[in-house]
Structure 1
Amino acid sequence: MTLAPVNLDELNADNATETVVIGPSKTYRIDFERGELGGTIDDDEAVLQFIQKAIMTARSRFFIYDDEYGCEIEDIIGKNVSSELLEEEVPRLIKEAIEYDDRIKSASNFFIERNGDQLEITFTVTLTNGKTLEGVSVNV
């Protein structure tokens, strides 16, 4: 005898369908230069801010974030690595940092410019709603 009724049809994996619901992206605006919050943003602007913040945040360093949030790009910035390694690793690291977000489908078309110990990275982001954000740029 069970304590709660069970509908076996609901447990049948063949009949199960998954519906993905993407929540609102409204968040606080961050002024990265001054380290201040001001106002709110939504939609594409919120996604762009998420991308910048996720890439700038070191993965697994801050207890407030789970292990999926952040980027490991700082491990190669400022190191004496070849351009070939940068061309291979930077896109992979950025994709890992942002593609787990349910608003982002993919990142592609990476252009990397090295300026001393810094990188300027420009790429294209395709969102799950069908929009494409071209010329997304971050400096690390």
Structure 2
Amino acid sequence: MSLLPDNQTELLDAYLRAEQDAQPEPTLTYRLNFGNGRIGGMVDGKDAIKQFIVKAIRTNRSHFRIYTDDYGCEIESLIGNDVTESFIQAEIPRMVREALIYDDRINDVSNVTATRLGDAVFITATVDSIYGEVTQEVTI
């Protein structure tokens, strides 16, 4: 009887092979109507990516227990505070990128612009996803 465990390299090798061969998770999810706050039908592919972009940017990071600390955006920390317009223009692209890039379906986030009009902020971002390029506008 040995004090050290048996070498389990076969199990580790099988696990690593399975991880390399893993297929991406399906993106089929419920369709959210942000205008009236209702759920109806299903959405998949590019439409699911567009919905994810809106939802991730509008959700406050670390605010809701149902989500991990990786999900959501920190833009609410800028809204309503006495910060300069140049600071907002510098921070919003970084915050939007951080909110979106952690998703496995998203390869890159670029061309993030923010326009402030009264109490609203209009954010536009171009997202390169596994389904192709998507340009989405989000109003906060």
SS in 1 for 2:82: coil
Identity between Structure 1 and Structure 2 (%):
41
Match of residue 54, structure 1, among 28, 53, 56: 56
Offset at residue 111 of structure 1 (A): 1.9
Of 80-89 and 39-48, more deviation after overlay is shown by 80-89
**Aligned-pair CA distance for 1:78:** 2.6
Name the Cα RMSD after superposition: 2.4
- Say whether residues 1:133 and 2:131 are aligned partners: no
**AA partner of residue 122 (structure 2):** E
Give the TM-score normalised by the residue count of structure 1. Answer: 0.84
- 2:26 aligned partner, one-letter code: P
Partner Cα distance (1:106, 1:36) in 2: 30
Structure 2: give runs of 5+ residues left out of the alignment. Answer: none
1:95-110 correspondence runs (5 A): 95-110=97-112
Q: Higher RCO, 1 or 2 (CA under 8 Å, sep at least 6)?
A: 2
Q: What is aligned with 1:8?
A: 9
Contact 1:78–1:118 at 8 Å: present in 2 too? no
The equivalent residue for 2:41 is 39
Structure 1 unmatched ranges of 5 or more? none
Number of positions where the alignment pairs a residue of Structure 1 with one of Structure 2: 135
For the residues of structure 1 that align with 2:126 and 2:119, how far apart are their CA atoms? 23
CA drift at 1:29 = 0.5
Kept after mapping to 1: 8 A contact 2:46/2:132: no
Question: Aligned residue for 2:65?
Answer: 63
CA distance in 2 between counterparts of 1:87 and 1:22 reads 34
Looking at structure 1, the residues matched to 75 and 68 of structure 2 have their Cα atoms a distance apart, in angstroms, of 17
